[in-house]
């Protein structure tokens, strides 16, 4: 009975430790990376292009000012910061209705600058050049590792991990079999990366 209590206590403490770190490991592949642009909230210094169908003279391409606004011909200042492109387009379209008959407005992000730091993908550990690179749609683990110059001769590539931050501020770890990706063409763990991901390649133990 004493042994059972001891085992139960150890298991309980292990659960508490995992909860305290906010980290969890997953044997399943990470979920698909969503398309960013549809839900992307425009930020200061992002560059946007405003187009009005059949009214090219009303089109502009401008960065978002520090106050979060852009200036649109006829309409004046429009709040862009903290809103999606579709929301800004709808606002401009409504205001242009006083000047243009049935305006059709499109707002396109041409440069994502405000969230570049948070959106970077980082590769650390036993790679030739640890890097922090801008996220690009469609980027995979292999793309990121190659940008870091590949692994070193001291690496344990089949013990690499992909760390991803969740919406609840916890972190999920996904095992990456880099040796199989690089040397065997096995792409089963060549996951698509997401903004903010960290890939770590440990060194071998001698």
pLDDT for 38 equals 54
Q: What pLDDT score does 206 carry?
A: 66
Please report which residue ranges of 29-122 form alpha helices under DSSP H.
36-39, 85-96
User: How high is the pLDDT of residue 114?
Assistant: 74
Average pLDDT of adjacent 10-residue blocks, the chain of 206 residues: 41 40 66 62 90 95 92 95 95 96 95 75 95 91 97 95 88 95 95 94 87
Element (H, E) at 174: strand 171-176
Assign domain 117-201 one CATH number from 3.30.450.20, 3.10.560.10, 2.60.40.420, 3.20.20.70: 3.10.560.10
Q: Using CA atoms, how far apart are residues 195 and 157, in angstroms rounded to an integer?
A: 22
pLDDT of amino acid 99 = 94
Question: How much is the pLDDT for 24?
Answer: 65
Predicted TM-score of the model (pTM): 0.54
Confidence (pLDDT) at 30: 82
DSSP helix/strand/coil, 5 = helix
pLDDT of residue 136: 87
pLDDT tens sequence across 39-69: 788 988 899 999 999 999 999 999 999 889 9
Annotated domain spans of the chain? 41-111, 117-201
CATH superfamily of 41-111: wza like domain (3.30.1950.10)
CA–CA gap between residue 84 and residue 93 (Å, rounded): 14
- Report which of 170, 167, 205, 173 is spatially closest to residue 191, judged by C-alpha positions: 173
Report the pLDDT value the prediction gives residue 19, as an integer from 0 to 100.
42
């Amino acid at each position: 009975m004493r042994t059972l209590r001891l085992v139960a206590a150890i298991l309980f403490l292990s659960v508490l430790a995992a909860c305290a770190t906010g980290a969890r490991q997953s044997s399943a592949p990470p979920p698909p990376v969503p398309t960013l642009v549809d839900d992307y909230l425009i930020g200061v210094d992002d560059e946007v292009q405003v187009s009005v169908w059949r009214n090219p003279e009303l089109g502009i391409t401008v960065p978002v000012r520090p106050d979060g606004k852009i200036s649109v011909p006829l309409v004046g200042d429009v709040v862009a910061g903290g809103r999606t492109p579709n929301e800004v387009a709808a606002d401009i379209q409504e205001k242009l209705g006083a000047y243009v008959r049935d305006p059709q407005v499109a707002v396109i992000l041409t440069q994502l600058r405000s969230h570049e730091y948070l959106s970077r993908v980082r590769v650390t550990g036993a790679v030739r050049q640890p890097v922090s690179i801008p996220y690009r749609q469609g980027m995979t683990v292999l793309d990121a590792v190659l940008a870091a110059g590949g692994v070193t001769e001291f690496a344990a590539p089949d013990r690499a991990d992909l760390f991803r931050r969740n919406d609840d501020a916890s972190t999920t770890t996904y095992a990456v079999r880099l040796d199989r990706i690089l040397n065997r063409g096995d792409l089963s763990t060549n996951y698509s990366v997401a903004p903010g991901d960290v890939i770590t390649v440990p060194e071998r133990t001698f």
